[in-house]
Structures are given as structure tokens and as C-alpha cells.
Amino acid sequence: MHADTLARRRFFRLAATGLFATALPAAAFPTLGHAQAAAAPTDPIRALDAALLQAMKTGRSASFAERYEMLSGPVDQAFDLDAVLQTSVGPRWATLSATERDELRSAFRRYTIANYVANFDSYEGQQFQLDPAPRSLPGGQQVVTTRLVAPGGSTTVLGYVMRQTPSGWKAVDVLADGAISRVAVQRSDFRGLLSQGGSRALASSLQRKTADLSGGALA
């Protein structure tokens, strides 16, 4: 498959499904201390881009589980998973028990990291280009734009909606092609599953998708 087409397909598949995660830092990639993370909304995305590029170059010479560990930390640094999950679930989040919430957090985390691992698994000369000047949104949020540029010149654009948190700047949404909200797409799917079978149905769906993405490595 042509590298330009492959790059665009991967980026838009990630934007349309789920791409947030929480985990421990990975020493192999650029990491951010608390003060540094709070300094600029571009910092976590720059670190994430570097980690993704390294994972792509590593490719399938490493196992799925190994690449999962490689990407966990940088994704955690970049996103506020709890905020994304709560927004996607909606008002029903307040009615869930602590156990149900923890189960959803765990399933969402694993699914998110697995999405990254599955979609950024080969390198064909692509490069990330980060816009150093974020775009301001109401409420103090910032949109950080990053581009995946393929050797043929095709460019795929993602806008990370960043919010200042006690742990620094974190992404709370991703805009595919600069406009399509991943959270909005996900919200419909999540709430449908919750209506049909409650939190267990949503958690089970995320677990099945994770197992499929990982070829059973993360069953």
C-alpha cells in the first residue's frame, strides 16, 4: 500500500476509535517533569510524537506487549484519560459505583494503548511536524496541531485540545483533520452500549477490542 494512503488511514482510524491511555513513564522516550509539563501545551504532544515515531521504527521487531510498554508513558503524559472517559460516558458516570468506574478506567486505558500500538507499527519515512504556536479556545484551552508527513508529501493533521490540569497540560479531545472530534464520535458508541447493558457491556466491548487489536497478547 502506498505510504501516503497508509499514513492517512492509520491516523483517521485512531481519531475515529480511541486513542487515550494512562500508564507508567517509559524511559526510552522523552519524559516531562511536573514543572516542564506545565510550561507549554506543546510539550506533551512533542514527547508523544517522538515516542510514536520510535515505535514505528521499531515495528514488529518487538512484540506487541513490548511496544505497549514503550508507548504507555508518553500517552499518559499527553492525555487526561479520566476527563475523556467521563465526557464520553456522560451523566451516567455519576450513577456508577467505584468498582464500575475502576473497571471502565482499566479497560479504556488498555484499549487506548493497544490502538496506538496497532496503528503505529511500521515506518516508511514518515515524519511528525509540530506547530509551535497553539490556537486558543474559550476557557483557556489550547489546540496543538501536529502533522504526519509521508515521503510522497501527503499530510494528515491532528489537533489536540489541551487543558491545564494539576499535572500539567493534558489532551481532552483530538480533532481529526482539524475539525472532527474523536470524543463526539466515541460518545455515541459508549452511551449506546451503556443503555443496552450498563457499564459491564461497555467494559466487555473495550476488552474484546483490545484483545483483537493485540492478536490476543492483551487478552
What mean pLDDT is predicted for residues 59-63?
Answer: 93
CATH of the domain at 176: 3.10.450.710
Residue 87 lies in a domain: yes
State residue 123 phi and psi, 5-degree precision. -125, 130
Between 178 and 182, whose confidence is greater? 182
Residue 195 lies in a domain: no
Q: pLDDT digits over 150-181, tens only?
A: 998 898 899 999 999 999 999 999 998 878 89
Task: Provide the whole-model pTM.
Answer: 0.81
- Provide the domain count of the chain: 1
Residue 196 lies in a domain: no
| Residue closest to 49 by CA, chosen among 28, 74, 24, 27 | 74
> Could you give the angle at the alpha carbon of 159 between the alpha carbons of 43 and 129, nearest 5°?
60
Q: How far is CA 215 from CA 40, 55, 206, in A?
A: 37, 18, 14
pLDDT over 50 at 5, yes or no: no
Residue 79 lies in a domain: yes
Residues in contact with 125: Cβ distance below 8 Å, sequence separation at least 6, in sequence order: 3, 150, 151
Residue 157 lies in a domain: yes
Grid cell listed for 139: 476557557
Q: pLDDT digits over 81-105, tens only?
A: 999 999 999 999 999 999 999 999 9
User: What is the spatial distance between Cα 78 and Cα 37, in angstroms, rounded to a whole number?
Assistant: 9
